[in-house]
Amino acid sequence: MNKNTVIPDLSNLWMPFTANRAFKHDPRLIVGAQGMYYTSIDGSKILDSTSGLWCVNAGHGRQEIVDALARQSAQLDYAPGFQMGHPNSFRAATAVAQLMPEGLDRIFFTNSGSESVDTALKIALAYHRARGEGQRTRFIGRERGYHGVGFGGISVGGITPNRKAFSGALLPSVDHLRHTHDLSHNAFSHGQPAWGAHLADELEELVSLHDASTIAAVIVEPMAGSAGVLIPPLGYLERLRAITEKHGILLIFDEVITGFGRLGAATASEFFQVTPDIITLAKGISNAAVPCGAVAVRRSVHDAIIESVDTGIELFHGYTYSGHPLATAAVLATLDIYRREDLFARAAVMAPVLEKAAHRLQDARHVVDVRNLGLVAGIELEPRPGAPGARTAEAFKRCFDSGVLLRYTGDTIAVSPPLIVEEDQIEQLFSIIAEVLDGID
Ligand code: PXG
Protein backbone atom coordinates (compact mmCIF):
# COMPACT_ATOMS: atom_id res chain seq x y z
CA MET A 1 0.00 0.00 0.00
CA ASN A 2 1.27 3.48 -0.85
CA LYS A 3 2.22 5.22 2.40
CA ASN A 4 0.19 8.22 1.29
CA THR A 5 -3.01 6.23 1.61
CA VAL A 6 -2.47 5.34 5.26
CA ILE A 7 -4.15 7.77 7.61
CA PRO A 8 -1.55 8.86 10.18
CA ASP A 9 -2.13 9.48 13.89
CA LEU A 10 -4.12 12.72 13.91
CA SER A 11 -3.91 13.52 17.61
CA ASN A 12 -0.74 15.61 17.89
CA LEU A 13 -1.48 18.26 15.32
CA TRP A 14 -3.48 21.22 16.59
CA MET A 15 -5.02 22.35 13.34
CA PRO A 16 -5.40 26.05 12.46
CA PHE A 17 -8.88 27.59 12.10
CA THR A 18 -10.38 24.11 12.26
CA ALA A 19 -13.03 22.36 14.29
CA ASN A 20 -10.36 19.90 15.42
CA ARG A 21 -12.64 17.29 16.97
CA ALA A 22 -15.05 17.20 14.05
CA PHE A 23 -12.20 17.01 11.55
CA LYS A 24 -10.44 14.21 13.35
CA HIS A 25 -13.69 12.31 13.53
CA ASP A 26 -14.21 12.67 9.78
CA PRO A 27 -10.87 13.66 8.21
CA ARG A 28 -10.37 14.97 4.70
CA LEU A 29 -6.76 14.47 3.64
CA ILE A 30 -5.15 15.72 0.46
CA VAL A 31 -2.14 13.86 -0.88
CA GLY A 32 -1.45 15.46 -4.26
CA ALA A 33 -2.24 18.34 -6.57
CA GLN A 34 -1.82 19.10 -10.25
CA GLY A 35 -3.28 21.89 -12.34
CA MET A 36 -6.88 22.54 -11.25
CA TYR A 37 -7.20 19.37 -9.17
CA TYR A 38 -6.34 18.00 -5.78
CA THR A 39 -6.06 14.28 -5.14
CA SER A 40 -7.60 13.11 -1.89
CA ILE A 41 -6.28 10.21 0.14
CA ASP A 42 -8.77 7.81 -1.42
CA GLY A 43 -7.45 8.70 -4.87
CA SER A 44 -10.37 10.85 -5.99
CA LYS A 45 -9.82 14.07 -7.95
CA ILE A 46 -11.19 17.27 -6.46
CA LEU A 47 -11.67 20.44 -8.48
CA ASP A 48 -10.00 23.28 -6.62
CA SER A 49 -12.49 26.15 -6.76
CA THR A 50 -10.57 28.18 -4.15
CA SER A 51 -6.95 28.18 -5.36
CA GLY A 52 -6.08 26.38 -2.12
CA LEU A 53 -6.78 29.30 0.20
CA TRP A 54 -6.86 32.02 -2.48
CA CYS A 55 -3.18 31.49 -3.15
CA VAL A 56 -2.38 28.99 -5.92
CA ASN A 57 -3.19 31.44 -8.69
CA ALA A 58 -1.17 29.71 -11.44
CA GLY A 59 -2.59 26.27 -10.62
CA HIS A 60 -0.92 23.41 -8.80
CA GLY A 61 2.37 21.64 -9.34
CA ARG A 62 3.88 24.11 -11.80
CA GLN A 63 7.04 22.46 -13.10
CA GLU A 64 8.91 25.77 -13.51
CA ILE A 65 8.47 26.49 -9.80
CA VAL A 66 9.38 22.93 -8.80
CA ASP A 67 12.58 23.19 -10.85
CA ALA A 68 13.47 26.64 -9.53
CA LEU A 69 13.06 25.40 -5.96
CA ALA A 70 15.17 22.29 -6.56
CA ARG A 71 17.95 24.34 -8.14
CA GLN A 72 17.88 26.99 -5.43
CA SER A 73 17.81 24.47 -2.65
CA ALA A 74 20.90 22.75 -4.01
CA GLN A 75 22.77 26.00 -4.66
CA LEU A 76 21.99 28.15 -1.63
CA ASP A 77 19.67 26.87 1.07
CA TYR A 78 19.71 29.90 3.30
CA ALA A 79 21.53 33.19 3.65
CA PRO A 80 21.06 35.74 6.44
CA GLY A 81 19.08 38.74 5.29
CA PHE A 82 20.34 41.16 7.93
CA GLN A 83 23.40 43.16 6.83
CA MET A 84 23.81 40.53 4.08
CA GLY A 85 21.99 39.62 0.93
CA HIS A 86 21.70 37.18 -1.95
CA PRO A 87 21.00 38.21 -5.54
CA ASN A 88 17.56 36.64 -5.89
CA SER A 89 16.01 38.65 -3.07
CA PHE A 90 16.93 41.84 -4.96
CA ARG A 91 15.74 40.40 -8.27
CA ALA A 92 12.47 39.27 -6.72
CA ALA A 93 11.92 42.73 -5.21
CA THR A 94 12.41 44.28 -8.64
CA ALA A 95 10.02 41.79 -10.22
CA VAL A 96 7.35 42.54 -7.59
CA ALA A 97 7.91 46.32 -7.89
CA GLN A 98 7.30 46.11 -11.64
CA LEU A 99 3.78 44.84 -10.98
CA MET A 100 2.88 47.49 -8.41
CA PRO A 101 1.18 50.81 -9.13
CA GLU A 102 3.56 53.60 -10.04
CA GLY A 103 5.45 54.93 -7.06
CA LEU A 104 5.07 51.85 -4.85
CA ASP A 105 8.41 50.35 -5.73
CA ARG A 106 10.11 49.68 -2.39
CA ILE A 107 9.56 46.08 -1.35
CA PHE A 108 9.95 44.52 2.13
CA PHE A 109 9.73 40.71 2.24
CA THR A 110 7.84 38.77 4.91
CA ASN A 111 6.63 35.17 5.14
CA SER A 112 2.87 35.58 5.31
CA GLY A 113 -0.01 37.98 5.00
CA SER A 114 -0.18 38.44 8.77
CA GLU A 115 3.45 39.49 8.84
CA SER A 116 2.89 41.81 5.89
CA VAL A 117 0.10 43.53 7.80
CA ASP A 118 2.18 43.96 10.96
CA THR A 119 5.03 45.24 8.82
CA ALA A 120 2.80 47.75 7.06
CA LEU A 121 1.38 49.07 10.34
CA LYS A 122 4.88 49.46 11.78
CA ILE A 123 6.09 51.22 8.64
CA ALA A 124 3.16 53.65 8.95
CA LEU A 125 4.13 54.48 12.55
CA ALA A 126 7.82 54.79 11.67
CA TYR A 127 6.99 57.07 8.74
CA HIS A 128 5.05 59.56 10.83
CA ARG A 129 7.66 59.49 13.55
CA ALA A 130 10.44 60.09 11.02
CA ARG A 131 8.58 63.20 9.88
CA GLY A 132 8.17 64.52 13.39
CA GLU A 133 4.52 63.45 13.68
CA GLY A 134 5.06 60.63 16.14
CA GLN A 135 1.69 61.37 17.78
CA ARG A 136 -0.02 59.77 14.79
CA THR A 137 -0.45 56.33 16.34
CA ARG A 138 -4.08 55.48 15.65
CA PHE A 139 -5.19 52.98 13.01
CA ILE A 140 -8.57 52.82 11.35
CA GLY A 141 -9.72 49.42 10.11
CA ARG A 142 -13.16 48.26 9.03
CA GLU A 143 -15.81 45.93 10.37
CA ARG A 144 -15.56 42.46 8.81
CA GLY A 145 -12.02 43.22 7.65
CA TYR A 146 -9.53 40.35 7.74
CA HIS A 147 -5.89 41.23 8.13
CA GLY A 148 -4.44 37.98 9.40
CA VAL A 149 -3.93 36.85 12.95
CA GLY A 150 -1.08 38.87 14.44
CA PHE A 151 -2.04 41.26 17.24
CA GLY A 152 -1.83 44.14 14.75
CA GLY A 153 -3.98 42.33 12.23
CA ILE A 154 -6.73 41.26 14.63
CA SER A 155 -6.79 44.75 16.16
CA VAL A 156 -7.45 46.50 12.85
CA GLY A 157 -9.48 43.53 11.62
CA GLY A 158 -13.18 43.36 12.23
CA ILE A 159 -14.09 39.70 12.51
CA THR A 160 -15.54 39.24 15.96
CA PRO A 161 -14.65 35.59 16.66
CA ASN A 162 -11.04 36.32 15.72
CA ARG A 163 -10.91 39.12 18.30
CA LYS A 164 -13.07 38.25 21.24
CA ALA A 165 -10.81 35.75 23.05
CA PHE A 166 -7.94 38.22 22.81
CA SER A 167 -9.88 41.43 23.23
CA GLY A 168 -8.06 42.53 26.36
CA ALA A 169 -4.75 42.60 24.53
CA LEU A 170 -5.53 44.30 21.25
CA LEU A 171 -3.71 47.43 20.08
CA PRO A 172 -5.06 50.33 22.12
CA SER A 173 -5.68 53.02 19.49
CA VAL A 174 -7.86 51.54 16.81
CA ASP A 175 -11.22 52.50 15.41
CA HIS A 176 -13.31 50.93 12.67
CA LEU A 177 -15.35 52.04 9.71
CA ARG A 178 -18.65 50.35 9.07
CA HIS A 179 -18.56 47.53 6.50
CA THR A 180 -20.28 48.07 3.17
CA HIS A 181 -22.35 44.91 2.90
CA ASP A 182 -26.09 45.57 2.76
CA LEU A 183 -28.36 43.16 0.95
CA SER A 184 -31.36 45.46 1.24
CA HIS A 185 -29.58 47.69 -1.30
CA ASN A 186 -27.10 45.48 -3.06
CA ALA A 187 -28.44 41.93 -3.39
CA PHE A 188 -27.50 40.17 -6.65
CA SER A 189 -25.19 42.95 -7.82
CA HIS A 190 -23.08 42.18 -10.85
CA GLY A 191 -19.61 43.53 -10.16
CA GLN A 192 -19.36 46.62 -7.95
CA PRO A 193 -22.64 47.54 -6.25
CA ALA A 194 -24.06 50.98 -7.05
CA TRP A 195 -25.06 51.81 -3.47
CA GLY A 196 -22.70 52.60 -0.61
CA ALA A 197 -19.98 55.08 -1.65
CA HIS A 198 -21.23 57.43 1.07
CA LEU A 199 -20.15 54.92 3.74
CA ALA A 200 -16.59 56.10 3.14
CA ASP A 201 -17.63 59.53 4.44
CA GLU A 202 -17.75 57.99 7.91
CA LEU A 203 -14.00 58.37 7.80
CA GLU A 204 -14.50 62.13 7.99
CA GLU A 205 -16.52 61.59 11.18
CA LEU A 206 -13.76 59.45 12.69
CA VAL A 207 -11.25 62.12 11.74
CA SER A 208 -13.40 64.75 13.48
CA LEU A 209 -13.71 62.55 16.53
CA HIS A 210 -10.03 61.65 16.93
CA ASP A 211 -8.39 64.53 15.01
CA ALA A 212 -6.27 63.75 11.97
CA SER A 213 -3.10 64.48 13.93
CA THR A 214 -3.61 61.23 15.90
CA ILE A 215 -4.28 58.95 12.92
CA ALA A 216 -1.43 57.07 11.25
CA ALA A 217 -3.22 54.96 8.67
CA VAL A 218 -6.43 53.50 7.35
CA ILE A 219 -6.25 49.84 6.36
CA VAL A 220 -8.84 48.05 4.25
CA GLU A 221 -9.05 45.16 1.86
CA PRO A 222 -10.04 46.74 -1.48
CA MET A 223 -12.25 43.66 -1.88
CA ALA A 224 -12.79 41.75 1.34
CA GLY A 225 -12.33 38.02 0.80
CA SER A 226 -12.35 36.13 4.08
CA ALA A 227 -15.36 37.84 5.57
CA GLY A 228 -17.47 36.59 2.69
CA VAL A 229 -16.60 38.40 -0.55
CA LEU A 230 -17.55 42.01 0.17
CA ILE A 231 -17.22 44.05 -2.97
CA PRO A 232 -16.56 47.79 -2.66
CA PRO A 233 -19.40 50.02 -3.85
CA LEU A 234 -18.67 52.18 -6.88
CA GLY A 235 -16.78 55.26 -5.78
CA TYR A 236 -16.12 54.03 -2.21
CA LEU A 237 -12.37 53.43 -2.48
CA GLU A 238 -11.92 56.71 -4.34
CA ARG A 239 -13.52 58.56 -1.41
CA LEU A 240 -11.33 56.78 1.13
CA ARG A 241 -8.32 57.82 -0.94
CA ALA A 242 -9.45 61.47 -1.14
CA ILE A 243 -10.16 61.73 2.59
CA THR A 244 -6.90 60.06 3.68
CA GLU A 245 -4.91 62.23 1.33
CA LYS A 246 -6.59 65.39 2.54
CA HIS A 247 -5.63 64.61 6.15
CA GLY A 248 -2.12 63.24 5.64
CA ILE A 249 -3.25 59.76 6.68
CA LEU A 250 -1.60 56.79 4.97
CA LEU A 251 -3.88 54.44 3.08
CA ILE A 252 -2.97 50.75 3.24
CA PHE A 253 -4.63 48.31 0.87
CA ASP A 254 -4.42 44.75 2.11
CA GLU A 255 -4.04 42.90 -1.19
CA VAL A 256 -3.08 39.52 0.23
CA ILE A 257 -6.00 38.02 -1.71
CA THR A 258 -6.44 40.53 -4.52
CA GLY A 259 -2.75 40.82 -5.44
CA PHE A 260 -1.44 38.86 -8.44
CA GLY A 261 -4.38 38.67 -10.74
CA ARG A 262 -7.47 37.78 -8.74
CA LEU A 263 -9.47 40.67 -10.20
CA GLY A 264 -7.95 40.50 -13.68
CA ALA A 265 -5.14 42.99 -13.04
CA ALA A 266 -1.86 42.71 -11.14
CA THR A 267 -3.42 44.45 -8.14
CA ALA A 268 -6.84 45.65 -7.04
CA SER A 269 -5.27 49.12 -6.90
CA GLU A 270 -4.66 48.90 -10.64
CA PHE A 271 -8.07 47.37 -11.24
CA PHE A 272 -9.89 50.14 -9.34
CA GLN A 273 -7.40 52.83 -10.39
CA VAL A 274 -7.00 53.90 -6.78
CA THR A 275 -3.46 53.99 -5.50
CA PRO A 276 -2.80 53.60 -1.78
CA ASP A 277 0.49 54.38 -0.01
CA ILE A 278 1.24 50.83 1.08
CA ILE A 279 0.12 47.45 -0.29
CA THR A 280 0.37 44.21 1.66
CA LEU A 281 0.94 41.04 -0.35
CA ALA A 282 1.35 37.27 0.17
CA LYS A 283 -0.36 34.15 -1.22
CA GLY A 284 -0.19 34.47 -5.04
CA ILE A 285 3.23 36.12 -4.83
CA SER A 286 4.85 32.67 -4.71
CA ASN A 287 1.87 30.64 -5.95
CA ALA A 288 1.95 29.34 -2.35
CA ALA A 289 4.72 26.91 -3.27
CA VAL A 290 6.77 28.36 -0.41
CA PRO A 291 5.43 30.77 2.21
CA CYS A 292 6.17 34.35 1.21
CA GLY A 293 4.72 37.80 1.73
CA ALA A 294 5.75 41.33 0.92
CA VAL A 295 4.90 44.96 1.54
CA ALA A 296 5.09 47.41 -1.35
CA VAL A 297 5.74 50.92 -0.09
CA ARG A 298 5.50 54.29 -1.78
CA ARG A 299 8.99 55.50 -2.44
CA SER A 300 8.45 58.77 -0.57
CA VAL A 301 7.31 56.85 2.55
CA HIS A 302 10.36 54.61 2.31
CA ASP A 303 12.68 57.57 1.75
CA ALA A 304 11.31 59.50 4.71
CA ILE A 305 12.25 56.60 7.00
CA ILE A 306 15.59 55.84 5.38
CA GLU A 307 16.67 59.48 5.32
CA SER A 308 15.64 60.16 8.90
CA VAL A 309 18.71 58.36 10.22
CA ASP A 310 22.25 59.47 9.50
CA THR A 311 23.90 56.08 9.71
CA GLY A 312 22.98 52.61 10.87
CA ILE A 313 19.80 50.58 10.68
CA GLU A 314 16.86 52.70 9.56
CA LEU A 315 13.97 50.36 10.43
CA PHE A 316 14.30 47.97 13.34
CA HIS A 317 12.16 45.28 11.78
CA GLY A 318 12.67 42.07 9.79
CA TYR A 319 12.31 38.32 9.86
CA THR A 320 14.95 35.56 9.79
CA TYR A 321 13.30 34.41 6.60
CA SER A 322 12.65 37.81 4.93
CA GLY A 323 13.68 37.21 1.32
CA HIS A 324 14.48 33.54 1.94
CA PRO A 325 16.29 32.00 -1.05
CA LEU A 326 13.54 29.43 -1.64
CA ALA A 327 10.76 32.00 -1.31
CA THR A 328 12.39 34.45 -3.69
CA ALA A 329 13.18 31.68 -6.19
CA ALA A 330 9.48 30.76 -6.07
CA VAL A 331 8.50 34.43 -6.50
CA LEU A 332 10.69 34.81 -9.59
CA ALA A 333 9.41 31.59 -11.17
CA THR A 334 5.80 32.44 -10.31
CA LEU A 335 5.88 35.99 -11.66
CA ASP A 336 7.51 34.64 -14.78
CA ILE A 337 4.57 32.24 -15.31
CA TYR A 338 2.05 35.04 -14.77
CA ARG A 339 3.83 37.13 -17.40
CA ARG A 340 4.47 34.40 -19.98
CA GLU A 341 0.92 33.05 -19.79
CA ASP A 342 -0.62 36.50 -19.38
CA LEU A 343 -2.67 35.06 -16.54
CA PHE A 344 -4.01 38.35 -15.17
CA ALA A 345 -5.53 39.12 -18.57
CA ARG A 346 -6.84 35.55 -18.68
CA ALA A 347 -8.57 36.14 -15.34
CA ALA A 348 -10.21 39.22 -16.87
CA VAL A 349 -11.41 37.13 -19.82
CA MET A 350 -12.81 34.38 -17.60
CA ALA A 351 -14.45 36.83 -15.16
CA PRO A 352 -17.67 37.24 -17.24
CA VAL A 353 -17.92 33.45 -17.60
CA LEU A 354 -17.71 33.08 -13.83
CA GLU A 355 -20.18 35.94 -13.37
CA LYS A 356 -22.75 34.33 -15.64
CA ALA A 357 -22.42 30.88 -14.09
CA ALA A 358 -22.54 32.26 -10.54
CA HIS A 359 -25.63 34.37 -11.13
CA ARG A 360 -27.46 31.33 -12.46
CA LEU A 361 -27.61 30.32 -8.78
CA GLN A 362 -29.92 33.28 -8.12
CA ASP A 363 -32.91 30.94 -8.02
CA ALA A 364 -31.15 28.02 -6.34
CA ARG A 365 -32.42 26.80 -2.99
CA HIS A 366 -31.42 28.88 0.09
CA VAL A 367 -29.57 31.52 -1.97
CA VAL A 368 -30.14 35.13 -0.79
CA ASP A 369 -27.33 36.76 -2.72
CA VAL A 370 -24.82 36.18 -5.48
CA ARG A 371 -22.01 38.69 -5.94
CA ASN A 372 -18.93 38.67 -8.11
CA LEU A 373 -15.86 40.59 -9.14
CA GLY A 374 -12.95 39.41 -11.27
CA LEU A 375 -12.39 35.72 -10.66
CA VAL A 376 -14.31 35.72 -7.39
CA ALA A 377 -17.91 34.90 -6.58
CA GLY A 378 -19.75 34.92 -3.27
CA ILE A 379 -22.94 32.95 -2.78
CA GLU A 380 -24.77 33.85 0.40
CA LEU A 381 -27.29 31.45 1.88
CA GLU A 382 -30.17 32.10 4.20
CA PRO A 383 -28.89 30.88 7.58
CA ARG A 384 -30.58 27.78 8.96
CA PRO A 385 -32.74 29.06 11.84
CA GLY A 386 -30.76 28.83 15.06
CA ALA A 387 -27.70 27.39 13.28
CA PRO A 388 -25.81 30.03 11.32
CA GLY A 389 -23.14 28.57 9.09
CA ALA A 390 -24.64 25.07 9.21
CA ARG A 391 -25.87 25.09 5.61
CA THR A 392 -22.55 26.21 4.16
CA ALA A 393 -20.69 23.67 6.30
CA GLU A 394 -22.93 20.93 4.93
CA ALA A 395 -22.59 22.25 1.37
CA PHE A 396 -18.81 22.22 1.78
CA LYS A 397 -18.78 18.57 2.85
CA ARG A 398 -21.19 17.44 0.16
CA CYS A 399 -19.34 19.32 -2.56
CA PHE A 400 -16.06 17.77 -1.40
CA ASP A 401 -17.66 14.33 -1.66
CA SER A 402 -18.88 15.28 -5.15
CA GLY A 403 -15.39 16.33 -6.20
CA VAL A 404 -15.35 20.11 -5.64
CA LEU A 405 -13.39 21.98 -2.99
CA LEU A 406 -15.25 25.09 -1.79
CA ARG A 407 -14.48 27.70 0.81
CA TYR A 408 -17.07 29.14 3.12
CA THR A 409 -17.25 31.70 5.90
CA GLY A 410 -20.41 32.08 7.89
CA ASP A 411 -23.24 31.62 5.43
CA THR A 412 -21.29 32.63 2.36
CA ILE A 413 -19.62 30.29 -0.10
CA ALA A 414 -16.59 31.84 -1.81
CA VAL A 415 -15.42 30.67 -5.21
CA SER A 416 -11.97 31.83 -6.38
CA PRO A 417 -10.42 29.33 -8.77
CA PRO A 418 -6.87 29.37 -10.10
CA LEU A 419 -6.50 31.80 -13.01
CA ILE A 420 -5.94 28.85 -15.36
CA VAL A 421 -9.53 27.63 -14.87
CA GLU A 422 -11.35 26.48 -18.01
CA GLU A 423 -14.91 27.34 -18.96
CA ASP A 424 -16.21 23.78 -18.56
CA GLN A 425 -14.70 23.57 -15.08
CA ILE A 426 -16.57 26.75 -14.10
CA GLU A 427 -19.80 25.26 -15.46
CA GLN A 428 -19.15 21.99 -13.65
CA LEU A 429 -18.47 23.55 -10.29
CA PHE A 430 -21.56 25.74 -10.29
CA SER A 431 -23.79 22.84 -11.37
CA ILE A 432 -22.45 20.78 -8.50
CA ILE A 433 -23.07 23.66 -6.07
CA ALA A 434 -26.66 24.02 -7.37
CA GLU A 435 -27.28 20.28 -7.04
CA VAL A 436 -25.83 20.18 -3.54
CA LEU A 437 -27.87 23.19 -2.39
CA ASP A 438 -30.99 21.54 -3.69
CA GLY A 439 -30.29 18.50 -1.53
CA ILE A 440 -29.78 20.21 1.83
CA ASP A 441 -32.38 21.51 4.26
N1 PXG B 1 -4.84 39.77 4.82
C2 PXG B 1 -5.82 39.28 4.05
C3 PXG B 1 -6.66 40.21 3.25
C4 PXG B 1 -6.02 37.90 3.98
O5 PXG B 1 -7.01 37.42 3.22
C6 PXG B 1 -4.20 37.62 5.54
C7 PXG B 1 -4.05 38.99 5.56
C8 PXG B 1 -3.29 36.79 6.38
O9 PXG B 1 -2.45 36.04 5.62
P10 PXG B 1 -1.70 34.76 6.27
O11 PXG B 1 -0.73 34.39 5.19
O12 PXG B 1 -1.02 35.22 7.50
O13 PXG B 1 -2.77 33.74 6.53
C14 PXG B 1 -5.20 37.05 4.75
C15 PXG B 1 -5.38 35.57 4.75
C16 PXG B 1 -10.45 32.32 3.67
C17 PXG B 1 -9.03 32.50 4.15
O18 PXG B 1 -10.99 31.29 3.80
C19 PXG B 1 -8.38 33.67 3.89
C20 PXG B 1 -7.11 33.87 4.38
C21 PXG B 1 -6.47 32.89 5.11
C22 PXG B 1 -7.14 31.69 5.35
C23 PXG B 1 -8.43 31.50 4.87
O24 PXG B 1 -11.03 33.26 3.14
N25 PXG B 1 -6.53 35.09 4.14
pLDDT digits (tens, 9 = 90+) for 234-244: 999 999 999 99
Which pLDDT does position 5 carry in this prediction?
A: 76
For the CA of 224, the nearest atom of ligand 1: 3
191: Cβ contacts below 8 Å, ≥ 6 apart: 231, 355, 372, 373
Which pLDDT does position 307 carry in this prediction?
A: 97
Condensed to tens digits (0 to 9), the pLDDT of residues 155-207 reads 999 999 999 999 999 999 999 999 999 999 999 999 999 999 999 999 999 99
Residue with CA closest to ligand 1 atom 20: 226
Q: From the CB of 118, is ligand 1 less than 6 Å away?
A: no
Q: From the CB of 378, is ligand 1 less than 6 Å away?
A: no
State percent of the chain over pLDDT 90: 99
Which pLDDT does position 2 carry in this prediction?
A: 66
What structural domains and CATH numbers belong to the chain?
3-58+342-438 (3.90.1150.10), 66-340 (3.40.640.10)
The answer, yes or no, to whether residue 47 has pLDDT greater than 90, is yes
Condensed to tens digits (0 to 9), the pLDDT of residues 306-346 reads 999 999 999 999 999 999 999 999 999 999 999 999 999 99
pTM: 0.98
Distance 89 CA to ligand 1 centre (A): 23
Q: From the CB of 282, is ligand 1 less than 6 Å away?
A: yes
Which pLDDT does position 85 carry in this prediction?
A: 95
State percent of the chain over pLDDT 70: 99
Mean pLDDT of the chain, nearest integer: 97
